[in-house]
């Protein structure tokens, strides 16, 4: 019979008596000798917490158990295995399926009997309780350290930690200010990321910059204006979740800022305005995906490029943008526009404006305030259309067409959409109050259109071309599948 001797020690347990790797190894080997087991293998996780089972040696042992190479698992104590009851129960169930048993060198029970499994589960409850109490104490200590302005988290790009304090990294801070200036001048996050990568500038982790990395770094990063935020996020089941702002600990003036308050606020406004495109739209095969809206119901029009089989032959009709309000929710009417026609029309308009911009004229282009007003009116129409959609759902419920569950589902879906639209409306209203001068706006438009002109003729990849398009076009509205309204960004 082959035994698996599992040994684990977390960072905070390294110095505690009885927990070191040599002590656990010696004790487990003596336990095997007492039972006459000579065939065993060591599985050692050095510096890993028992809060989950994402540990290399544990996973390797689990693989050997599933392949029936191990017949018994031994630890010095049950908390070496895990401190979460659900993980313990899952592991014991896995052992039962693989006809493997578990033994503890210091706790006597037999998992092959009902009493033994009950004792194991009770021990697991206390192990989980102990872990949570340790986590509470660590959290409390870190809270007090953070409140005193001491370093409790790794520094972001632009800062280093010296003698327990955040110290400005002059070289990285220079690039942060350059990133901010480009965004305030009308460039997008794709352009900023490309600029950084072209200059061989890397993130704090030594990686290349991406659109997401630029946005994540600059969005709501209080460190940039000299403040420290702690307790903002927590990890659950491997996912990073953001806590409500009321639970954050904000400590002001803990280090030298990179951006002054006014510049920081302007940057947040620009980033908030650019949050209108769904992430999946940026990876779409359709050039204008996420930008096309139905002028009748306010719903998005999505790209459709499907093939059909008939008479033994496959048929693929021309790709088109179709109103999702009709195809997915049935509250509009059937209308569409072919993607090749819309893309061509939009690009022709963009090039027309590009030529005008390069000639130092912007005839026919509305100033920023006009565009923002149009965007605000469009968002308000969307909100009004959402109210009408729910009223129709309510009438359908009264007539018995849908049941109470379907009505509740529709209400939840519409509430989420309304919250998103309301946030967009608020951002547009804020932007209207801080619109730039016509001269500044014209200069920004010239820069964007010139960049697009260069990108299209320079054989850019689809993703890059989409990013450039989104820097120029706010959205496109379609009426009756033929009338096209283009709303430009300024």
Three-state secondary structure along 48-67? CCCCCCCCHHHHHHHHHHHC
Please check whether residue 362 is in contact with residue 376, taking contact to mean a CB–CB distance below 8 angstroms.
Answer: no
Q: Which of 78, 112, 146 is the last residue of a domain?
A: 146
Q: For residues 12 and 124, state if they share a domain.
A: yes
Give the three-state DSSP class for 137: helix
- Residue 174's pLDDT is what? 93
Query: Which residues lie below 8 Å from residue 405, measured CB to CB, with a gap of 6+?
Result: none
Q: By three-state DSSP, how is residue 339 classified?
A: helix
Euclidean distance between CA atoms 15 and 9, whole angstroms:
10
Name the packing angle between helices 189-198 and 462-472 (round to 10°): 130
Residues 398, 399, 403, 407: is their CA dihedral positive or negative?
Answer: negative
Per residue in 153-190, is it b (16+ CB within 10 Å) or e — as a string?
eebbbbbeeeeeebebbeebbebbeebbebbeebbbbb
The CATH number that applies at residue 44 is 3.40.50.1390
Quote the strand ranges of 371-488, DSSP E: 473-479, 483-488
- The answer as to whether 138 is a domain residue is yes
How many Å apart are CA 470 and CA 462, to the nearest integer?
Answer: 12
Tell me, yes or no, whether 360 lies in a domain.
yes
pLDDT of residue 363: 43
Would you mind telling me the total number of residues written for the chain in this entry?
490
Q: Looking at 256, 273, 290, which one is the last position of a domain?
A: 273
For position 150, what pLDDT does the model report?
A: 74
Q: Does residue 152 belong to any structural domain of this protein? A: no
Q: What is the pLDDT of residue 444?
A: 60
444 and 421 in a common domain: no
> Is 103 within the bounds of a domain?
yes
* Cα dihedral 406, 411, 416, 419 in deg (nearest 10): 170
Q: In angstroms, rounded to a whole number, what is the distance separating the alpha carbons of residues 115 and 419?
A: 53
Clarify whether residues 441 and 409 are in a common domain. no
Q: Is residue 248 a contact partner of residue 228, using CB atoms and an 8 Å limit?
A: no
Residue 286 shares a structural domain with residue 391: no
Under a CB-based contact definition with an 8 Å cutoff, are residues 472 and 288 in contact?
no
SS3 content of the chain, % helix, strand, coil (to 5): 50, 15, 30
**Catalytic positions:** 10
Pairing of β 3-9 and β 40-46: parallel
Q: Has residue 78 been placed in a domain? A: yes
Whether 328 and 470 map to the same domain: the answer is yes
Query: DSSP states of 65-91 as a string?
Result: HHTT--SEEEESSGGGT-S-HHHHHHH
Task: Kindly write down the DSSP assignment for every residue of 365-403, as one continuous string.
Answer: PPPHHHHHHHHHHHHHHHHHHHHHHHHHHHHHHHTTSS-
- pLDDT tens-place values along the chain, 490 residues long: 789 999 998 865 554 545 788 889 999 999 888 888 889 999 999 888 887 888 999 999 999 999 999 999 999 888 888 877 778 778 888 888 888 888 888 877 666 666 666 776 776 676 667 667 766 776 677 777 777 767 777 888 999 988 878 889 999 999 999 999 998 887 888 788 888 988 999 998 888 888 788 988 998 888 898 888 877 776 666 677 777 777 777 788 888 899 998 899 888 888 886 654 444 444 567 888 888 999 888 888 888 876 655 555 666 778 888 888 877 666 788 888 988 889 888 888 877 776 665 554 444 444 456 666 777 788 888 888 877 777 777 777 777 777 777 777 778 888 878 887 887 787 777 666 655 555 555 566 566 656 655 555 554 556 667 777 777 788 899 998 888 988 876 5
Do the Cβ atoms of 24 and 7 come closer than 8 Å? Answer: yes
**In terms of domains, do 134 and 183 share one?**
no
Same domain? 141 vs 47? yes
Please give the model's pTM, rounded to 2 decimal places: 0.42
3-state secondary structure of 414: helix
- Identify whether 151 is part of a domain: no
Spatial separation of the C-alpha atoms in residues 478 and 169, rounded to whole Å: 49
Please give the C-alpha separations between residue 11 and each of 14, 19, 146, 417, in angstroms, as whole numbers: 6, 11, 21, 45
Among candidate residues 422, 325, 316, the one with its CA nearest the CA of residue 379 = 422
Task: Find, among 53, 47, 134, 49, the residue nearest to 88 by Cα.
Answer: 53
Tell me, yes or no, whether 92 and 138 share the same domain: yes
Cβ-based burial of 260 (10 A; exposed 0-12, middle 13-18, buried ≥19): exposed
* CATH code, 208: 3.90.1750.20
- pLDDT at res. 178: 93
- Are residues 379 and 490 both part of a single domain? no
Expressed in angstroms, the distance from the first to the final Cα of the chain is 73
d(CA 129, CA 131): 5
Q: Which of 121, 91, 116 is nearest to 6 (CA)?
A: 91
Same domain, 322 and 441: yes
Q: How many domains does the chain have?
A: 4
407: domain range? 368-434
Task: Give the pLDDT of residue 312.
Answer: 57
Domain contains 290: yes
Residues 64 and 95 in one domain: yes
Say what the pLDDT of residue 70 is: 92
Q: Which of 417, 434, 451 is the last residue of a domain?
A: 434
Please tell me what DSSP assigns to residue 436.
P
CB atoms under 10 Å from CB of 432, counted, come to 14
Residue 262 in domain: yes
Same structural domain for residues 47 and 181?
no
């Amino acid at each position: 019979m082959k035994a698996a001797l599992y040994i684990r020690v977390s960072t905070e347990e390294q110095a505690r008596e009885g927990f070191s790797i040599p002590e656990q190894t010696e004790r487990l080997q003596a336990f095997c000798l007492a039972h006459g087991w000579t065939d065993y293998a060591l599985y050692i996780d050095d510096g890993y917490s028992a809060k989950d089972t994402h540990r290399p040696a544990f996973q390797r042992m689990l693989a050997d158990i599933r392949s029936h190479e191990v017949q018994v698992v031994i630890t010095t104590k049950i908390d070496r295995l895990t401190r979460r009851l659900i993980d313990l129960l899952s592991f014991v169930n896995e052992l039962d399926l693989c006809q493997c048993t578990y033994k503890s060198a210091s706790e006597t029970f037999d998992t092959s009997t009902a009493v033994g499994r009950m004792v194991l589960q009770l021990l697991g409850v206390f192990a989980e309780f102990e872990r949570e109490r340790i986590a509470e104490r660590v959290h409390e200590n870190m809270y007090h350290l953070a409140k005193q302005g001491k370093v409790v988290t790794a520094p972001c790009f632009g800062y280093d930690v010296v003698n327990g304090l955040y110290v400005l990294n002059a070289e990285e801070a220079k690039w942060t200010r350059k990133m901010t200036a480009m965004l305030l001048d009308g460039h997008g996050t794709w352009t900023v990321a490309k600029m950084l990568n072209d200059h061989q500038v890397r993130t704090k982790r030594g990686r290349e910059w991406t659109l997401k990395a630029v946005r994540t770094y600059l969005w709501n990063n209080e460190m940039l204006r000299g403040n420290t935020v702690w307790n903002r996020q927590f990890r659950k089941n491997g996912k990073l979740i953001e806590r409500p702002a009321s639970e954050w600990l904000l400590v002001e003036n803990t280090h030298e800022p990179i951006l002054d308050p006014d510049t920081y606020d302007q940057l947040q406004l620009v980033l908030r305005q650019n949050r209108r495109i769904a992430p999946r739209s940026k990876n779409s095969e359709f050039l204008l995906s996420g930008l096309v809206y139905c002028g009748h119901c306010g719903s998005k029009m999505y790209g459709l490029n499907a093939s059909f089989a008939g008479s033994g032959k496959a048929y693929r009709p021309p790709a088109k943008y179709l109103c999702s309000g009709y195809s997915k929710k049935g509250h509009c009417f059937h209308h569409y526009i072919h993607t090749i026609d819309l893309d061509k029309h939009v690009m022709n308009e963009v090039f027309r404006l590009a030529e005008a911009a390069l000639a130092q004229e912007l005839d026919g282009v509305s100033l920023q305030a006009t565009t923002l007003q149009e965007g605000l009116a469009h968002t308000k129409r969307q909100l009004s259309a959402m109210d009408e959609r729910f009223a129709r759902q309510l009438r359908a419920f009264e007539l018995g067409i849908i049941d109470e569950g379907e009505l509740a589902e529709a209400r939840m879906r519409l509430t989420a959409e309304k919250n998103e639209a309301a946030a967009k409306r608020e951002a547009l209203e804020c932007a209207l109050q801080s619109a730039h001068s016509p001269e500044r706006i014209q200069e920004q438009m010239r820069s964007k259109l010139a960049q697009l002109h260069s990108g299209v003729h320079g054989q850019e990849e689809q993703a890059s071309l989409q990013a450039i398009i989104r820097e120029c076009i706010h959205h496109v509205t379609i009426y009756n599948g033929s009338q096209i309204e283009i709303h430009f960004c300024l």
